[in-house]
Amino acid sequence: MLSVPTISFTTFLDFQTATPAQRLQQVLDAREQYANGYDFVADYYKRLREGITVIEPSGFSAVLLQEIVSVASEKKQPNFAACASGRVG
């Protein structure tokens, strides 16, 4: 029986939204990414996601979310702030 690999929703969407000419490259990139395993250095939004999962169960707080943004590196703050305000920049 053929086993079907598990992929993330993001990987699936990247493939689905790619043009037919880009799809082969998407598959090759995904294959390489999954072969190499998780790389925390490349996980740009990890701290933001983790912060949201911490504050979510206790009730959403814009103040706590802003605190997560403020402790991020200066380089990441504009992107984290855009995500925090519901925009993707």
Whole-number pLDDT of residue 33: 85
14 in Cβ contact with 24 (< 8 Å):
no
Whole-number pLDDT of residue 17: 94
One-letter amino acid at 85 equals S
- CA dist., res. 46 & res. 22, Å (int): 27
| DSSP 3-state of 74 | coil
User: How many residues in the chain?
Assistant: 89
Residue-level pLDDT, tens digit, the chain, 89 residues: 777 778 888 889 999 999 999 999 999 999 988 888 777 777 888 888 888 888 777 777 778 888 889 988 899 999 989 888 875 43
Whole-number pLDDT of residue 89: 39
Q: CA quadruple 77, 80, 83, 84: dihedral positive or negative?
A: negative
- CA dist., res. 1 & res. 10, Å (int): 26
pTM value > 0.85:
no
Q: Where are the domains of the chain?
A: 9-37, 46-84
Whole-number pLDDT of residue 24: 96
